[in-house]
Amino acid sequence: MLRIITVVLLLFTPFAVADSVRLADLAAAADLIVLAQAKDTDYFTRRDIPVSGSAYLKVLIPYKTHYKTDRPQDIIEVYEKGLHANECYFPNPTVFEEGRRYLLFLKQDPDVATRYRGLPQGCALDVLVNDNNRYALRYPLNGIVLSDPLEELATEMTFSDGYAIINDSDLLPVERDAMRSAGDIVPHASGQWLYTRGVPLTRIRRLMGAENLSR
């Protein structure tokens, strides 16, 4: 239970304590920016909490690469070690689940050139698929505290993505009430809520800036 509360506090931006950052600054600092889907993890855990290891994600859309050649990279390895506010661990999908999708901001690992690490501000923003088969950042955001005015860009959407559903037990009461009052979630089923807003990735790409997506 302590772990759940900690993760919620760190990930949901209205309640985060971390310094905010612009998408343009994240893009400029990253070596790799991709839309990717979690496929597998290989973590060392203590009391079922990951403390080190790697996640493997499938690249769906590359936005920025640092390859010296234009070779495609279908699967990327993201390594993390330790527990800290902006740690970069991912849930591991079961064989019956589709992995979550993320917009990732990563640096090449200085110790192992073939793998990546998260940025100091975080590494991942949750992405959902809407009923038009388009990608959008889930709003409110989680994972990185952004200073961009995304509230103005968030629009109502109908999602066709199972990860648009969140269990009531995964939300703090004050957080749930604030999101419900803002219209960010609506009742779905008993003990569940449904996200209602997102920010299209086409708008996020513009905020990152074309000059920050090229090498």
What is the pTM assigned to this prediction?
Answer: 0.88
Mean pLDDT, all residues of the chain: 89
How many Å apart are CA 143 and CA 98, to the nearest integer? 20
Give the pLDDT confidence of 92-112 residue by residue, as tens digits.
998 888 999 999 999 999 999
Alpha helix stretches (DSSP H) within 44-172: 150-153
Pairing of the two strands 32-46 and 101-108:
antiparallel
Alpha helix stretches (DSSP H) within 30-162: 150-153
Residues constituting the chain:
215
**Phi, psi dihedral angles at 68 (to 5 degrees):** -75, -20
Distances (CA, A) of 1 to 113, 156, 171: 37, 32, 12
Task: Enter the tokens of residue 105.
Answer: 């901001």
Q: What is the pLDDT of residue 67?
A: 60
Mean per-residue pLDDT for 102-130? 96
Count up the domains in the chain and report the number.
1
How many Å apart are CA 137 and CA 154, to the nearest integer? 9
Give the pLDDT confidence of 21-34 residue by residue, as tens digits.
999 999 999 999 99
Q: What is the pLDDT of residue 7?
A: 37
**Phi, psi dihedral angles at 211 (to 5 degrees):** -65, -20
Tokens 């800290």 appear where? 84
